[in-house]
Structure 1
């Protein structure tokens, strides 16, 4: 049986998500978060069970944004260009910074609330990149290797862009 979140839980999760996009998750403390979103630590703990439960909910929320992006990208040979266009938009930097933080944390804290985030993200992106390949290439080892190279290139470019803000230079390198 799937339990649907209450309206209050959804409202607080969205507020906490907006907070996390601005402040990150690395030093998330419940008291400042609760004050910023008009709640209390007691309510957050009741709704999410623990700080780890809240972090898991925030990561699921971030992943929902990522999956929505990937669904909107579509299929075909222009997928990589459309992905980079979206990734390089300044308006998306907070989400991408949060994604990067969660990705890195899932590698160094694999048993915590971050568990599996990086792996799930890689799988999601490889699936989208498969849609850019011809049907006869998708199921081959060479197709997987090509998708992996493309993903590595996009991830590296994204890291560079987030570090430097130099979208023109990084986009030119991908061109």
Structure 2
């Protein structure tokens, strides 16, 4: 790799990270290149040169946000060892942490925008994030459950609970009430699974 290609690539990565941090604070729906460029110490011309146009920059920021999401899912631990219930508990603890509020607000904005603008730059983000999460939750289920209709329903319900609880938390900030609701749903789901003979680990106490 030559110095000519290394320097622009390094600068592009640096500006992408700065743009991502900017998006966490200000969102992406009303992004304008000039105030963004000023805030991150660049210029609209440089951003267009590196990312092609505003849409190219937005796509790069969305990919960066998705990378953070995937990094979270990778931190759950050995999926075969923790099981679905413990995975959901750990995911909710991360989602409910105050330090992740900016990232999750950006996620909610992007998720909603991708639904109302399916043919735009945001298109596909919502479907991709559903697929990412369902894939991880499926890996936490034993094969006989994962490959069954009931297993698919369990992980779909788990994701729906997490997503709905997150939107409630972002709207109200009522951590205790929403967490109690998540725990209640987990207990009910585990009880139903045991009653139907679906194997699963004991819930984590951590």
TM-score exceeds 0.5: yes
Query: What SS is found at the alignment partner of 2:75?
Result: helix
Q: 2:150 aligns with which of 113, 121, 142?
A: 142
Post-superposition shift, 1:134?
A: 2.1
> Does structure 1 residue 100 correspond to structure 2 residue 100?
no
Q: Distance in 1 between matches of 2:182 and 2:154?
A: 15
Post-superposition shift, 1:139?
A: 1.2
Runs of 4+ in 1 over 4 A off after TM superposition: none
Q: Distance in 1 between matches of 2:74 and 2:153?
A: 22
TM-score by length of 2: 0.81
Q: 1:27 aligns with which of 22, 26, 30?
A: 30
Task: Give unmatched runs, 5+ long, in structure 1.
Answer: none
Q: How many residues align?
A: 173
Deviates more, 1:80-89 or 1:126-135: 126-135
Q: 1:9 aligns with which of 6, 12, 28?
A: 12
Over aligned residues, Cα RMSD in angstroms?
Answer: 1.3
Task: Give unmatched runs, 5+ long, in structure 2.
Answer: 184-206
Post-superposition shift, 1:112?
A: 1.1
Q: Distance in 1 between matches of 2:142 and 2:116?
A: 36
Q: How does 1:25-174 map to 2 (within 5 A)?
A: 25-74=28-77, 75=79, 76-77=82-83, 78-174=86-182
Larger radius of gyration between Structure 1 and Structure 2: 2
Note the alpha carbon deviations across 1:117-160, whole angstroms, 9 max, x for none.
00010000001111222221101121111111111111000000
Q: Distance in 1 between matches of 2:90 and 2:140?
A: 11
